[in-house]
Chain A
Amino acid sequence: MTAAAPVALIVDDSPVNRKLLARHLESLGIESREAGDGRTALEMLRAEGTDVAVVLLDIVMPEMDGYATLEAIKAEESLRHLPVIMISGVDELDSVVRCIELGAMDYLPKPFNPAVLEARIRASLAGKRLHDLEVESAERQAELLRTIERQKDELSRFFSPQVAALVSSPEGHQLLAGHRRVATSLFADLRGFTSFSERADPEEVLGVLRQYHETMGALIVERGGTLEHFAGDGMHVFFNDPIPQDDHVERAVRMAIDMRDQFDVLAAGWTKRGYQLGFGVGIATGFSTLGRIGFEGRYDYGMVGFAVITAARLSSVAAGGQILLSPRSHADIEDLVVAEPVGEITLKGFSRPIAPVNVLRMRDVDGSTAESADEGRPVGA
């Protein structure tokens, strides 16, 4: 059979009626299959269900009558969508109503009128085509969604999960294009890494970096930071963008403390192998510009502004083990941290000195940490 000719299944126990219907359908360009009872019809539909586009169904038949056949078709997932037109005599209109309630689409009165037959068949075939298009469209949409999910998955291997999600989100385009927002920037890098990398074997250097990146990367994900980049031993992570985080300063500081703790564990191992490395952090908060930064072929989702420069400079002056917090960041979470002043520092390129603090640890809400005894209580506590 050709793909172009729609196929109708005629289910009628009268050979005369089957022959007559087939003849009418042929003149409409519709191919026919014939079944003398419902059971045979169902077997044919199950065998070639997708091929048949419409079923013409008599009501009174041997083996399995029209009602039972109709119910069976509507109960079967793969056949349910098939339009069924009941064939009925004028004295069977009550039965037709019942069939329509059971899911029949229409009815065809006997004796057959070719014009009525054509109208009903065309309507049913159009309905079937619409259904097929809907199914096809749903399949395409599902495939598209799977592709997007797969891309998101791939993207998240290259970017931070937040940025990967952003790229495929409805508001992604706008956010990527650039926006301004208060955000917290965190720079961290290793002290002594340059001389270590000059002395050690490349495998050793890359091994240390891999361990370091794995450990720090897990903490960034845990705190919901957006990693702008790893550059050798340095990294830039920011908070409150693209996903808003009310507690962005606190998140940055908690992450820095976790990183310092984890670094100490790593460094203990490295010290045994003769490497002296330290870990310094700079954190600053401020109104910044965020979005896609770079050039065609290589973009990063980045943050630029005064806070970024401040954090970078603080990181570069931090001694091993120090977490230097800008005054603005400190003011935001003063009650939450135990910090010590480090005096005024004039950062490179800055005209005025600033007074950052070094974060020692988080302060428990009730101030009851073991080490808090010799520290100042939170103001008003």
Chain B
Amino acid sequence: MNGMDHSEPILDLEVVAELRASTGDDDEFLRDLVATYVDEVTSHLDAMASAIDAGDPEAIVRPSHTLKSSSASVGALRLAAICRGIEAAGREARADRLAEDVELARATWAATLDALRRAELVA
């Protein structure tokens, strides 16, 4: 895992602002988008945990990739960075730290959800 993880903000408000502006300053749409994000995160985290339980690091690539992508879209950059590291480790079949990293991703997700609530993007 690279040292960049903790340098990224949990929620980049600049990204959120750009997102809001580029989608027509429509708060309803933005909240709907974030709700969609919140819905998908848990399933990706669960899929990643299952891959570790199954001892199949390659199976971690797709959920970590998708979560990375979705997280980056809504400004959850730290979670995106952690997922990028997990995806890379999965591709190279480096299983040594994957369990810890997935735990870190889960903890980061809790912090991200808090930040989204504070930004009034999640009810």
Q: Are A24 and B23 in contact (CB under 8 A)?
A: yes
The answer, yes or no, to whether A19 is at the interface (CB within 8 Å) is: yes
- The segment out of A9-17, A75-83, A200-208, A347-355 that lies at the interface is A9-17
Q: Are A60 and B39 in contact (CB under 8 A)?
A: no
Q: In the complex where A60-B62, A61-B62 touch, is A14 in contact with B22 (Cβ < 8 A)?
A: no
The answer, yes or no, to whether A199 is at the interface (CB within 8 Å) is: no
Interface string of B89-120 (1 = CB under 8 A from A): 00000000000000000000000000000000
Nearest CB of chain A from residue B84's CB, rounded to whole Å: 7
Q: Are A60 and B65 in contact (CB under 8 A)?
A: yes
Q: In the complex where A17-B73, A114-B22 touch, is A60 in contact with B36 (Cβ < 8 A)?
A: no
Q: Are A60 and B32 in contact (CB under 8 A)?
A: no
Q: Are A16 and B40 in contact (CB under 8 A)?
A: yes
Nearest CB of chain B from residue A112's CB, rounded to whole Å: 8
Q: Are B62 and A16 in contact (CB under 8 A)?
A: no
Q: Are A16 and B70 in contact (CB under 8 A)?
A: yes
Interface string of B61-72 (1 = CB under 8 A from A): 110011011101
| Residues in A neighbouring B23, C-beta threshold 8 A | 20, 23-24, 27
| Residues in B neighbouring A17, C-beta threshold 8 A | 69-70, 73
The answer, yes or no, to whether A180 is at the interface (CB within 8 Å) is: no
Chain A interface residue count, CB cutoff 8 Å, equals 21
| Residues in B neighbouring A244, C-beta threshold 8 A | none
Given contacts A16-B37, A16-B70, 11 further A-B contacts (CB under 8 A): A14-B69, A16-B36, A16-B73, A17-B73, A20-B19, A23-B33, A24-B22, A24-B23, A89-B72, A110-B72, A111-B15
| Residues in A neighbouring B74, C-beta threshold 8 A | 16
| Residues in A neighbouring B66, C-beta threshold 8 A | 13-14, 60
Interface string of A295-335 (1 = CB under 8 A from B): 00000000000000000000000000000000000000000
Q: Are B33 and A16 in contact (CB under 8 A)?
A: yes
The answer, yes or no, to whether A91 is at the interface (CB within 8 Å) is: yes
The answer, yes or no, to whether A192 is at the interface (CB within 8 Å) is: no
Which residue of chain A has its CB nearest to the CB of B68?
A: A89
Cβ contact of B29, chosen from A13, A15, A23, A89, cutoff 8 A: A23
How far apart are the CA atoms of A24 and B22 in the complex, in Å? 8
Nearest CB of chain A from residue B91's CB, rounded to whole Å: 10
Q: List 28 A-B contacts (CB under 8 A).
A: A13-B62, A13-B66, A14-B40, A14-B66, A14-B70, A15-B37, A15-B70, A16-B33, A16-B36, A16-B37, A16-B40, A20-B19, A20-B23, A20-B33, A23-B29, A23-B33, A24-B22, A24-B23, A27-B24, A58-B69, A60-B66, A89-B69, A91-B84, A110-B73, A111-B15, A112-B73, A113-B22, A114-B22
The answer, yes or no, to whether A29 is at the interface (CB within 8 Å) is: no
The residue in A15, A20, A91 that gathers the most chain B C-beta atoms within 10 A of its C-beta is A20
Nearest CB of chain A from residue B37's CB, rounded to whole Å: 5
Nearest CB of chain B from residue A178's CB, rounded to whole Å: 72
| Residues in B neighbouring A113, C-beta threshold 8 A | 22
| Residues in A neighbouring B61, C-beta threshold 8 A | 60
Which residue of chain A has its CB nearest to the CB of B40?
A: A15
| Residues in B neighbouring A60, C-beta threshold 8 A | 61-62, 65-66
| Residues in A neighbouring B37, C-beta threshold 8 A | 15-16
Question: B71-86: which have CB < 8 Å to A?
Answer: 72-74, 84
How far apart are the CA atoms of A113 and B50 in the complex, in Å? 34
How far apart are the CA atoms of A62 and B47 in the complex, in Å? 12
Shortest beta-carbon contacts, A-B, top 10:
A16-B70, A14-B70, A60-B65, A16-B37, A114-B22, A15-B36, A14-B66, A23-B23, A14-B69, A13-B66
The residue in B32, B69, B74, B84 that gathers the most chain A C-beta atoms within 10 A of its C-beta is B69
